[in-house]
Amino acid sequence: MSVQLQALFSEVNWQPIITAIDAADKIVLITHCNPDGDGIGSQLALYDALTDQGKSVQMFNFDGVPRIYTFLDHADKVGRGQWLSDSSGGDLIIALDCGSKGRLGMPDAFYKGATLLNIDHHASNQLFGDINLVDARYCATGAMIFDLLRAMGISLTKATASAIYTAVLTDTASFRLSNSTSAVYRMAADLIDAGAEPWPISVNVYESRPLAGLKMMSACLDTLQVHHEGRSAWVHITHEMYESTGADVEDTEGLIDYARSIDSVEVAVFIRCDERREHCWKVSFRGKTWVDVGALAASLGGGGHAYASGCLMRGTFDEVRSTVEQAVSQVFA
Ligand SMILES: [Mn+2]
Q: Which tens digit of pLDDT belongs to each residue from 104-122?
A: 999 999 999 999 999 999 9
Contact call for residues 20 and 14 (beta carbons, < 8 A): no
pLDDT for 170: 96
CATH (domain of 309): 3.10.310.30
Q: Which residues, chain by chain, have CB under 5 Å from ion ligand 1? A: 38, 97, 141, 171
| Cα four-point dihedral sign 275, 271, 108, 90 | positive
Confidence band of 4 (pLDDT split at 50, 70, 90): low
Inside any domain, residue 100: yes
pLDDT for 5: 75
Inside any domain, residue 2: no
Cα 240 to averaged position of ligand 1 atoms, centre (Å): 30
Cα 333 to averaged position of ligand 1 atoms, centre (Å): 30
pLDDT for 2: 53
**148 with 225, same domain?**
no
pLDDT for 305: 86
**Mean pLDDT in residue range 54-72:** 96
Inside any domain, residue 99: yes
**44 with 96, same domain?**
yes
**177 with 215, same domain?**
no
Confidence band of 3 (pLDDT split at 50, 70, 90): low
DSSP 214: H
Q: Which tens digit of pLDDT belongs to each residue from 248-292?
A: 999 998 899 999 999 999 999 999 998 778 799 999 999 999 999
Quote the CA–CA distance of 163 and 71 in Å, as a whole number. Answer: 10
**136 with 200, same domain?**
yes
Cα 229 to averaged position of ligand 1 atoms, centre (Å): 31
**199 with 69, same domain?**
yes
**175 with 91, same domain?**
yes
What mean pLDDT is reported for the chain? Answer: 95
Q: Which tens digit of pLDDT belongs to each residue from 5-32?
A: 789 999 999 999 999 999 999 999 999 9
Q: Which domain holds residue 174?
A: 15-206
Cα 142 to averaged position of ligand 1 atoms, centre (Å): 8
**202 with 221, same domain?**
no
Domain count, the chain: 2
Q: Which tens digit of pLDDT belongs to each residue from 229-246?
A: 999 999 999 999 999 999
Residue 168: is it exposed, middle or buried by C-beta count within 10 angstroms (0-12/13-18/19+)? Answer: buried
Contacts of range 207-214, beta carbons closer than 8 Å, 24 or more positions apart: 208/68, 209/251, 210/247, 210/251, 212/245, 212/246, 212/247, 212/248, 212/251, 213/247, 213/250, 213/251
CATH (domain of 137): 3.90.1640.10
Cα 130 to averaged position of ligand 1 atoms, centre (Å): 20
Inside any domain, residue 3: no
Cα 291 to averaged position of ligand 1 atoms, centre (Å): 19
Inside any domain, residue 9: no
Query: What is the value of pTM for the model shown?
Result: 0.87
pLDDT for 6: 84
Coil, strand or helix at 330: helix
Last residue of one domain, picked from the residues 206, 222, 239 = 206
Inside any domain, residue 4: no
CB-CB neighbours of 196 under 10 Å: 24
Cα 141 to averaged position of ligand 1 atoms, centre (Å): 5
Q: Which of 80, 72, 108, 110 has the alpha carbon at shortest distance from 94? A: 110
**221 with 90, same domain?**
no
**Mean pLDDT in residue range 175-192:** 95
Last residue of one domain, picked from the residues 159, 180, 206 = 206
